[in-house]
């Protein structure tokens, strides 16, 4: 159907009005343009520069209350609610387990004390000393086992024979070997972290693709260049995985060793609370151990992101 004369006139009038409004807007833009520079005098009030503190707070709040963190907080809230329910209604086997309110009161009274601080310092010192020794020995050993087949043939059978032995079974022997209690505890922490670090480092070296090495050799690269530019970067993800697993096992071992032969530390504090029938402090000690372990793993993950910046691209 062809449009009538009245409809055509309305369309032409609307088109004319639109063209006139666009021309007015273009003229206003040109009037604001003074010598090729935009006149911001009328717009400056709409913008405000935030201070460094305000920028930090805005980023922190925005990052804290994203959906991922809210889900994590919600999961913790659900666990606390379930804990309160099973302790309130004395559901077996939680009849003698302290409630969250009792643990909170114990935390308010115990955490600010000097005894709690000393226990954390002793356990953290033993952990990091044993863990650093395990890294200094385990990472080079794993790299050499993966890089040199002759060296692996000499060392891997002994390593694989000792690895299945539970580290807890080394406690009596460590007490015999080291006259000082601190040395025996650090030795057990070292053993707990040593095996996963060596094994994951070895697997990381062996997982590097052979065509990378062959391509480097064909281009005239020397063995030391291949090791530092191909083998070591390729094994870094597995090395940090082994370090994270080793840190978790180190915390298991330091708690077990302190329960047996410690005079200070979180493990000794937890065992002492059981002997003194201070049940809320047992739960509190477990929470402190978990928080310290989580902090240690967070530090390792941060170091991994700094050592492997390319992983954030994928």
Q: Residue 230: phi, psi to the nearest 5?
A: -125, -55
- pLDDT score of 237: 93
pLDDT at 20: 58
In angstroms, the CA 150 to CA 262 distance is: 41
Contact (Cβ atoms closer than 8 angstroms) between residue 126 and residue 182: yes
What is residue 172's predicted lDDT score, i.e. its pLDDT? 86
Q: Which of 160, 136, 148, 85 is nearest to 246 (CA)?
A: 136
Residues 6+ apart with CB under 8 A from 93: none
For 224-264, write each residue's pLDDT tens digit: 899 999 999 999 999 999 999 999 999 988 888 888 766 78
Closest CA to 276 of 110, 122, 125: 110
- Whether residue 37 is contained in a domain is answered as no
One digit per residue, the tens of pLDDT, for the chain of length 314 reads 455 555 555 555 565 555 555 555 545 554 445 555 555 555 555 555 666 666 666 666 665 666 777 787 888 899 999 999 999 998 888 888 999 999 999 999 999 999 999 999 999 999 999 999 999 999 999 999 999 999 999 999 999 999 999 888 888 888 888 888 888 899 999 999 999 999 999 999 999 988 888 898 888 888 889 999 999 999 999 999 999 999 999 998 888 888 876 678 898 999 889 888 899 999 999 999 999 999 999 999 999 988 888 776 55
In this structure, is residue 134 part of a structural domain?
yes
Please report whether residue 303 resides in a domain: yes
| 8 Å CB contact between 146 and 167 | no
CATH number of the domain bearing residue 218: 1.10.3720.10
Residue 20 domain flag: no
Q: What is the structure's pLDDT at 313? A: 56
Contacts of residue 44, defined as CB under 8 A and 6 or more positions apart, other chains included, come to: none
Per the confidence metrics, is the pTM higher than 0.85?
A: no
The pLDDT of residue 219 is 87
Amino acid 259: pLDDT: 80
SS3 sequence of the chain: CCCCHHHHHHHHHHHHHHHHHHHHHHHHHHHHEECCEECCCCCHHHCCCCCHHHHHHHHHHHHHCCHHHHHHHHHHHHHHHHHHHHHHCCCCCCCCCCCHHHHHHHHHHHCCCHHHHHHHHHHHHHHHHHHHHHHHHHHHHHHHHHHCHHHHHHHHHHHHHHCCCCHHHHHHHHHHHCCCHHHHHHHHHHHHHHHHHHHHHHHHHHCCCHHHHHHHHHCCCCHHHHHHHHHHHHHHHHHHHHHHHHHHHHHHHHHHHHHHHCCCCHHHHHHHHHHCCCHHHHHHHHHHHHHHHHHHHHHHHHHHHHHCHHHHHC
**136 lies in a domain?**
yes
Residue 102 domain-assigned (yes or no): no
Is residue 80 included in any domain, yes or no?
Answer: no
Show the domain range for 124.
Answer: 114-308
Is residue 191 included in any domain, yes or no? yes
Domain count within the chain: 1
Place of tokens 């009005």: 17
CB 250 within 8 A of CB 193: yes
């Amino acid at each position: 159907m062809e449009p009538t004369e009245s409809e055509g006139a309305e369309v032409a009038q609307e088109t004319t009005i639109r063209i006139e409004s666009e021309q007015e807007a273009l003229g206003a833009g040109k009037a604001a343009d003074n010598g090729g520079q935009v006149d911001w005098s009328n717009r400056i009030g709409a913008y405000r520069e935030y201070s460094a503190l305000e920028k930090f707070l805005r980023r922190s709040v925005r990052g804290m209350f994203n959906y991922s963190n809210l889900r994590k907080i919600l999961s913790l809230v659900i666990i606390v609610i379930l804990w309160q329910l099973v302790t309130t209604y004395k559901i077996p086997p939680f009849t003698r387990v302290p409630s969250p309110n009792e643990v909170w009161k114990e935390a308010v009274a115990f955490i600010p004390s000097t005894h709690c601080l000393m226990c954390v310092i002793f356990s953290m010192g033993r952990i990091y000393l044993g863990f650093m020794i395990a890294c200094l020995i385990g990472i080079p050993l794993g790299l050499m086992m993966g890089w040199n087949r002759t060296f692996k043939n000499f060392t891997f059978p002994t390593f694989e024979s000792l690895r299945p032995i539970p580290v807890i079974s080394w406690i009596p022997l460590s007490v015999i070997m080291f006259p000082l209690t601190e040395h025996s505890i650090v030795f057990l922490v070292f053993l707990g972290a040593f095996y996963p670090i060596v094994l994951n480092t070895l697997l990381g070296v062996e997982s590097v693709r052979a065509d990378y090495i062959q391509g480097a050799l064909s281009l005239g690269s020397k063995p030391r260049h291949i090791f530092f530019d191909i083998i070591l970067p390729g094994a870094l993800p597995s090395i940090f995985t082994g370090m994270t697993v080793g840190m978790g096992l180190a915390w298991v071992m330091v708690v077990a060793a302190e329960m047996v032969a410690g005079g200070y530390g979180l493990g000794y504090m937890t065992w002492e609370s059981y002997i003194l029938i201070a049940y809320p402090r047992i739960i509190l000690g477990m929470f402190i151990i978990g928080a310290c372990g989580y902090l240690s793993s967070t530090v390792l993950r941060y170091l991994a992101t700094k050592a492997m910046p390319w992983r954030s691209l994928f």
